[in-house]
Amino acid sequence: MAGKDAVEQGDSRIATGIAGLDEAISGGYPRSSLIMLSGKCGTGRTTFGLQFLIEGAKKGENGVFVTLEKEPQEVMAHAMGYSWEAKKYFEKKMVSVVKPDMHRFDSFKKALEEEIYRAGAKRIVIDSFSLISAYFHEDPYDVRRSISDLARMVRRLDCTAVVIEDILEGSAYLSYTGYKEFVVEGVIVLDIVKKDASTFARTLYVRKMAGTNHSLKLIPFEISSDGITAYPDAEVF
Amino acid sequence: MAGKDAVEQGDSRIATGIAGLDEAISGGYPRSSLIMLSGKCGTGRTTFGLQFLIEGAKKGENGVFVTLEKEPQEVMAHAMGYSWEAKKYFEKKMVSVVKPDMHRFDSFKKALEEEIYRAGAKRIVIDSFSLISAYFHEDPYDVRRSISDLARMVRRLDCTAVVIEDILEGSAYLSYTGYKEFVVEGVIVLDIVKKDASTFARTLYVRKMAGTNHSLKLIPFEISSDGITAYPDAEVF
Amino acid sequence: MAGKDAVEQGDSRIATGIAGLDEAISGGYPRSSLIMLSGKCGTGRTTFGLQFLIEGAKKGENGVFVTLEKEPQEVMAHAMGYSWEAKKYFEKKMVSVVKPDMHRFDSFKKALEEEIYRAGAKRIVIDSFSLISAYFHEDPYDVRRSISDLARMVRRLDCTAVVIEDILEGSAYLSYTGYKEFVVEGVIVLDIVKKDASTFARTLYVRKMAGTNHSLKLIPFEISSDGITAYPDAEVF
Amino acid sequence: MAGKDAVEQGDSRIATGIAGLDEAISGGYPRSSLIMLSGKCGTGRTTFGLQFLIEGAKKGENGVFVTLEKEPQEVMAHAMGYSWEAKKYFEKKMVSVVKPDMHRFDSFKKALEEEIYRAGAKRIVIDSFSLISAYFHEDPYDVRRSISDLARMVRRLDCTAVVIEDILEGSAYLSYTGYKEFVVEGVIVLDIVKKDASTFARTLYVRKMAGTNHSLKLIPFEISSDGITAYPDAEVF
Amino acid sequence: MAGKDAVEQGDSRIATGIAGLDEAISGGYPRSSLIMLSGKCGTGRTTFGLQFLIEGAKKGENGVFVTLEKEPQEVMAHAMGYSWEAKKYFEKKMVSVVKPDMHRFDSFKKALEEEIYRAGAKRIVIDSFSLISAYFHEDPYDVRRSISDLARMVRRLDCTAVVIEDILEGSAYLSYTGYKEFVVEGVIVLDIVKKDASTFARTLYVRKMAGTNHSLKLIPFEISSDGITAYPDAEVF
Amino acid sequence: MAGKDAVEQGDSRIATGIAGLDEAISGGYPRSSLIMLSGKCGTGRTTFGLQFLIEGAKKGENGVFVTLEKEPQEVMAHAMGYSWEAKKYFEKKMVSVVKPDMHRFDSFKKALEEEIYRAGAKRIVIDSFSLISAYFHEDPYDVRRSISDLARMVRRLDCTAVVIEDILEGSAYLSYTGYKEFVVEGVIVLDIVKKDASTFARTLYVRKMAGTNHSLKLIPFEISSDGITAYPDAEVF
């Protein structure tokens, strides 16, 4: 089984599920870390996150998609729109989509932990992470501390988390308010950039990845019926 | 009847009514979704929205135009200024224009639902969506939740909604305050861009469209007595 | 009488009084609409507004200039500085200049309506519209509603209103606060733009005009002793 | 006497005292108006204002310099640093420098009126006008009304006022807060602009001048021991 | 022992641990000073700080890494990811990693002083300094005074401190809020800059260094398994 | 004695101590004035201020350096790092460094006056002036009045004051908040500007100098072991 091999080969790395991306970050995300996937609206972050879970399922690692805004059915329909045989993994409960209540941060964190146990999950996606801070906290210091808390929890549970974060159009920040990127262990930025006066290109950029010798190049990617494919050796312009 | 054919051919897609646009988004909007039509003042959004309803009427699908600022007569006069035979559809009550009271979001949503039932509508336009959030909410989290609520309602009613959103002149946002675009299922941006030092061109841009393999190109369009015509294969510059 | 002819020829259009502009907007403003004339300081808006009233007087349509800041005498002196024989029209009471008190928006609107009746006016200019919102409202929603109210009133009275709006220097907005332009039926922007490193040119730009097939070109204009003359076929640069 | 001639020649115009400027604005400022002299720090506005009063004194018109920040002695020393024989005019009391208390706007205005009477002044300079609004008002509407009040007062007293206004470095506004320029009858902007990477030039720009057919050109000027000399026919670049 | 030599050669300088940097700042940081290491997320500041402590350990100078957000184990794992034999120094307690509680600034400072005594430290790193001001102070004046206090403390204890400061993405400031850089004795800015349309380069810039004749050049650097290497004689572009 | 000569030659001018600068401003600062020395962090302002006092000491004029943030010993060490024989002047008490308490502005001003008397000072430097306004005032009007007060005090005491002001990185202002520059009698801006993509140059710019025919050129300068040397005839680029 291909998944088993991958785990054996590089236990400290976890495959991203994005063709072409693993090779740009030493084989995958650092296992048990919290990676922020930032981007403006329409940059493909949900697809990117789902692909991470499907990849896990293919490798025998269960995953949970935590949706805080869309309904689980919508998210599942989104996944099933691609050629991933997502339905199979949903049915086998290798990929679950849950929508927890948000009342207090502590109870949210507890619900998340229970869900991870219940699903035996090794991979989590939270969509969108912006809502957690918008809902629970206003103070930068508190937000930073909560993210550290979450990061510690996923490490303790030996889970790898990809958290989807909104960047406001026109903002230079790498997150909604500009300071979350300092706390997480990795930052990948998806973007839509102007190629010339009237065409745009999709790009991906590894801004930070703990303990990883990553390049700083803008990597073009495409979204097709197979999902996202990155071209680390191609040029955007 | 042409409308019936269209429905049969691609049940999951709903024709936009804009000549040239359907082909750029796999045949039309995803059925039962909420699409945000954003733009600065004078970019042609009301015409765009009306054309969506007239197209529906031509295909046998009833529609409702919800005006929150202008009087229904004004909106109808606007439609009748084009060569669409709009008067016929207004008289047949295939297109209705209503101006509901706005007191609380819940009662607004309820009134909207009743209107959809009453009219047997499959297509809705809300003009302008900016007013809903300006009037009911100040908190980004509440606004996001309300939009999700509306999106769920139109899905449940099997309606497709085009909501008109204001972008402030000079703003980089895709909506009035910059976060609505993260919640809706599609974003189309109408704009007036400088072609050279003293001429401007009208452009249309599909920024996001759930489950749709859309291009990221600036598409030029024109407004004539026939309404809006898009030229997906033409270049703006 | 020339005025009568014009009315007969195109009842739905009302001549702007600016040589060269009518032809760019299908013969004039849409009758009974509220047109916003926006611009930075010193761009010629008062002259533009007065010329609209003088044109009306020449055509037999009475007009009222509502000044909210300058004294009526100043405004009349301004008009009489041009070769328009303005004095004649002031004396015949075909053009009146009034300065109403501003206490509450409702009483202002009522005073305005009485003035329109009293003068038998078909044309109104309000200078400056920025003061109305600055004085009465702080909330965008209220301001938008007031403008809609005014627009309905002038429509009911079969009057055409040109309202002068301030754009702050360096602002990208088309009005003082950026949202009024969404509510009015037409927006004309007067500007002073840099032609080269040390010379500036006066330009005029029709941004929006309900039911009008207008161009989107920067139109150069000049101010001479005859007032404003626009050159729709000339280039600024 | 030269002054008398000037008055006879063009009663409606009042010489600015700046060599080269009068010819650019139809012979001088409109008599009895309030002209705003805006500029960033160090652009020569005080010199410009003093020169206006010295010119008046030479023509037999008394003037008052109202200083709100510097001491009268400083202002007089500043004037006497030029080759204007300012000392003579100070001694003859043809030019007075006063520093009134600022408590309430009304008492300030009254003190100003008394000073104008006492000095038989036809010319006033207020340095700086920014302080008046900073001290008395915070509300744009009140500031606009106060400026209108002042303008009416100087008109009633047949005085011409040059009011010195601060523009913050890097601001696009023509005054401190961006709306005063809409109320005054004339705006002259003094500036220091980059000529090339390491040299700067002094420029003057008539942005608005009621009833005056002025050019819109950046006019270079110099400050020498004779004060300010403008070169309306020279190019800055 | 190499360390000893270095101390003897230039007692007033303390080696930075970054190959290539010492030569750009007269042999190292001024001993007993507080140096701010500013940068956006992902610019290599933690590695830079750790390398400073490892260099000290190699020279026989003990050091303390004060982490305010990450867990000590994470920081140690980060260090051990490089070829520095960091584990040896952690075991010998030549480099300690501590995470003090933050309640009040005074108790934090006291805890820090005790830690320095306990560890016999000559080198300290605080990561991140942004949190200290975020947590304890809101007032610029208080923040400035606290930094002065800390600087005095490290001087008194004959310690050299490298404090890691966050710069928000897109900000021109050299610290989080823009005024800390005025108080510290040295500022080094790490950055990721665009080399061309799709590649980025890591740069280092000595903005200020008390009593040091430093260059003002952008110095390229790389991060490899040996940590950071600066190339003071190479060009970024 | 050289100092005496200088005083005799140009009593109204006071040498700046910066080689090359005096010639650019008619021989020195206007005596008894308050000059603002503005700049971003690391631009050499403290050195510039100290050099002014050392120059005075060489000419027999005592000076006081008022430090509000750093300790007097630090400031003295800074001065002694240059080839100025600063130690001699500190010992002879020709240059004193004091750090007064800041409680209220009035008591600060009084303490300053006493210090000037005690030291028989003709030259003062305040580092940094930004702290005075940050600490005592929030209101622009009050800050302006305090600066005027200080300026009057130094004039009365026949002292010349160089006050060091912070400019935030990226700010266009010539002071911390943008309005102080309007009140002082002179403004000199020290800066670090980009020469090309990766090198920076130190520049000096006389923005305003009361009663002085100064150039408006960017003047390059260097900091060496002899302190600051300006090159008024050299080009930055």
Q: Which residues pair with D189 in a beta bridge?
A: D38, D205
Q: Is the pLDDT of residue F79 over 90?
A: yes
How many interface pairs between E and F have CB atoms less than 8 angstroms apart? 63
CB A155 within 8 A of CB A4: no
Predicted local distance difference test score (pLDDT) of residue E137: 65
**Distance, in angstroms, between F221 CA and closest chain E CA?**
13
* A contact test, residue of E169, E195, E228, E236 with most A CBs within 10 A: E169
pLDDT (average), residues B193-200: 90
Predicted local distance difference test score (pLDDT) of residue E70: 93
Record: contact E181-F169, CB cut-off 8 A? yes
Angle between helices C129-136 and D140-156 (to 10 degrees): 130
Q: How confident is the model at residue B117 (pLDDT cuts 50, 70, 90)?
A: very high
Please list, residue by residue across C132-162, b when 16 or more beta carbons sit within 10 angstroms of its beta carbon and e when fewer do.
bbbbbbeebbebbbbbbebbebbbebebbbb
Interface pTM (ipTM) of the complex? 0.90
Predicted local distance difference test score (pLDDT) of residue E104: 81
Tokens of F123: 């030259």
Q: Which of A41, A135, A201 sits opposite B174 (nearest CB)?
A: A41
Predicted local distance difference test score (pLDDT) of residue F105: 84
Record: contact E181-F41, CB cut-off 8 A? yes
E120: alpha, beta or left? (left if phi > 0; alpha if psi -120 to 50): left
Residues of A in contact with E223 (CB under 8 A): 213
Residue listed under structure tokens 């976060």:
B179
* E contact test, residue of F41, F70, F102, F225 with most E CBs within 10 A: F41
The pLDDT tens digits of the residues spanning F175-222 come to: 999 999 999 999 999 999 999 888 899 999 999 999 888 989 999 999
The percentage of residues in chain D with a pLDDT greater than 90, rounded to a whole number, is 80
pLDDT (average), residues C207-224: 92
pLDDT (average), residues C167-190: 96
Q: Which of A2-6, A137-141, C46-50 has the lowest mean pLDDT?
A: A2-6
- Rounded-to-integer distance, Cα A227 and Cα A44, Å: 9
Question: First-to-last CA distance in chain B?
Answer: 39
Q: What is the DSSP string of chain A?
A: -HHHHHHHHTTTEE--SSBTTGGGGTTSEETT-EEEEEE-TTSSHHHHHHHHHHHHHHTT-EEEEEESSS-HHHHHHHHHTSSS-HHHHHHTTSEEEE----S-HHHHHHHHHHHHHHHTEEEEEEETHHHHHHHH---HHHHHHHHHHHHHHHHHTT-EEEEEEE--TT---SSSSSSGGGTSSEEEEEEEEEEETTEEEEEEEEEEETT-----PPEEEEEETTEEEE-TTS---
Residues of A in contact with E168 (CB under 8 A): 173, 178-179
Chain E residues with CB within 8 Å of chain A CB: 41-42, 69-71, 77-78, 81, 128, 130-131, 134-135, 166, 168-171, 192, 197-202, 223-225
3-state secondary structure of C205: strand
Q: Which of F77, F130, F192 sits opposite E216 (nearest CB)?
A: F192
Tokens of D83: 């080759």
CB F48 within 8 A of CB F37: yes
- Half-sphere exposure at residue E8, Cβ-oriented, CA atoms within 13 angstroms: 5
Q: What backbone torsions phi and psi does residue D124 show, to the nearest 5 degrees?
A: -130, 145
Please give the helix or strand (H or E) that residue D42 lies within, else none: none
Chain E residues with CB within 8 Å of chain F CB: 140-141, 144-145, 148, 152, 171-174, 178-179, 181-183, 187, 203, 207-208, 210-211, 213, 216-218, 235-237
Q: Is the pLDDT of residue C155 over 90?
A: yes
The pLDDT tens digits of the residues spanning F63-74 come to: 999 999 999 999
Predicted local distance difference test score (pLDDT) of residue C2: 37
F65: alpha, beta or left? (left if phi > 0; alpha if psi -120 to 50): beta
- Interacting residues of A133 by C-beta distance below 8 A, sequence separation 6+: A143, A146, A176, A177, A180
Question: Within 10 Å of residue F67's Cβ, how many Cβ atoms?
Answer: 23
* B contact test, residue of C188, C216, C218 with most B CBs within 10 A: C216
Q: Which of B41, B134, B224 sits opposite C207 (nearest CB)?
A: B41
Q: Which of A141, A172, A173 sits opposite E135 (nearest CB)?
A: A141
How many interface pairs between A and E have CB atoms less than 8 angstroms apart? 63
Chains A and D touch, contact meaning at least 3 pairs of CB atoms under 8 angstroms apart: no
Q: What is the DSSP string of E82-132?
A: STT-HHHHHHTTSEEEE----S-HHHHHHHHHHHHHHHTEEEEEEETHHHH
Chains with 3+ CB–CB pairs under 8 A to D are: C, F
Q: Is the pLDDT of residue D124 over 50?
A: yes
Q: How confident is the model at residue D132 (pLDDT cuts 50, 70, 90)?
A: confident
Tokens of C77: 């002196």
Query: Counting runs of H as helices and runs of E as strands, what totals does chain D give?
Result: 7, 11
* E contact test, residue of F69, F105, F131, F169 with most E CBs within 10 A: F169
Q: Which of A56-60, C86-90, D139-143, F109-113 has the lowest mean pLDDT?
A: D139-143
Q: What is the DSSP string of C94-161?
A: SEEEE----S-HHHHHHHHHHHHHHHTEEEEEEETHHHHHHHH---HHHHHHHHHHHHHHHHHTT-EE
Predicted local distance difference test score (pLDDT) of residue D137: 65
* E contact test, residue of A142, A175, A182 with most E CBs within 10 A: A182
Angle at B142 between CA B137 and CA B148, to 5 degrees: 115
Q: Is the pLDDT of residue C18 over 80?
A: yes
Give the rounded distance of the alpha carbon of D191 from its chain centre: 14
**Distance, in angstroms, between F113 CA and closest chain E CA?**
24
**Distance, in angstroms, between B64 CA and closest chain A CA?**
25
Q: How confident is the model at residue D237 (pLDDT cuts 50, 70, 90)?
A: confident
Predicted local distance difference test score (pLDDT) of residue B101: 85
The percentage of residues in chain B with a pLDDT greater than 70, rounded to a whole number, is 95
Record: contact B69-C148, CB cut-off 8 A? yes
Q: How confident is the model at residue A148 (pLDDT cuts 50, 70, 90)?
A: very high
Predicted local distance difference test score (pLDDT) of residue E157: 96
The pLDDT tens digits of the residues spanning E61-86 come to: 999 999 999 999 999 999 999 999 99
pLDDT (average), residues B44-70: 97
Q: Which residue has the higher pLDDT, A136 or B98?
A: B98
Predicted local distance difference test score (pLDDT) of residue A143: 87
- What is the chain C residue with the closest CA to D213? C224
Predicted local distance difference test score (pLDDT) of residue A118: 96
Chains B and D touch, contact meaning at least 3 pairs of CB atoms under 8 angstroms apart: no
Q: Which of C41, C171, C223 sits opposite D174 (nearest CB)?
A: C41
Predicted local distance difference test score (pLDDT) of residue F10: 47
Predicted local distance difference test score (pLDDT) of residue A111: 93
